[in-house]
Amino acid sequence: MTRKEYTDAVLTALRHVTDRERLAIQAELDAHIEDHMAALQELDYPPELAEERALATMGDPAEVGRELNACYQSWFWVILGRAAAVVTAVLCILALLHVGLLGMVADSISARIYPDEDSYFEKLTATERLDIRVPVGNDVLHVYRISVGQDDTLGEQVAEVLFCAYDRIPGGIVSQWLADGIILENPRGEQAVSGSGRGNWRVEYRSIQVPVQEEDPSVTLCYEAFGEQVRLELPLPGRETS
């Protein structure tokens, strides 16, 4: 999404504004986007990625537009002057940005300290807490748990790896491509692509499973993109190693 597409999406939701007010809100949105981009470019982000992450930081444009429209609609009946409506809109934008940034930092810090998501299995055969962190581009891949359990649907043992991805800067925007590109491989070359999980621009949590056999000592987590290649051999918990 480009900057123009973002601002157009926000402005589309505004129904109680004059043309002059619409232009003022657009200018305010552009100024905030410019500020975010400038801060990211100072950290050596390329312009295209800086714009992508600045727009993501602003929040969902439809939601921002609805919040702004609600502000205007609530003031519509008690407004003393159209200038007051412009001030209200600016304050709403600032409030949305500040709340979003605070939540972003909190969630990102949580993923760094002690991420904890539910396992795919109801009953685990064996599990082990990990703390493996691998920088990939501007992001970090954090592998934090490996488990073995019985999949009753498939009638076989399955290894599960839980991991998350976050930006190196607390509160920064993580690339979803990183989590989507993770592959888990067993010793026979069978592979699974990362599937179930959740994400919120700040952290991507994922669970990935692959079938294993009793004699399998480990599974391998693989990732290759942005000119970088990651291969992590992860010993299976509860298995004896020679």
113 CB neighbour count, 10 Å cutoff: 6
Contact 235, 218 (CB under 8 A): yes
pLDDT of residue 31: 81
pLDDT of residue 74: 45
Q: Where are the beta strands (DSSP E) in the chain?
A: 124-136, 139-151, 156-167, 183-185, 191-193, 197-199, 203-211, 218-225, 228-235
pLDDT of residue 232: 92
pLDDT of residue 72: 56
Nearest alpha-carbon partner for 165 in 173, 157, 154: 173
91 CB neighbour count, 10 Å cutoff: 11
Give the pLDDT means over successive 10-residue stretches in the chain (242 positions): 82 74 79 79 81 78 73 47 51 47 60 74 83 86 90 81 84 75 91 73 85 93 78 88 52
pLDDT of residue 211: 92
Cα separation, 31 vs 36, in Å, equals 9
pLDDT of residue 76: 45
Contact 68, 93 (CB under 8 A): yes
Residue 191 in 3-state DSSP? Answer: strand
pLDDT of residue 190: 92
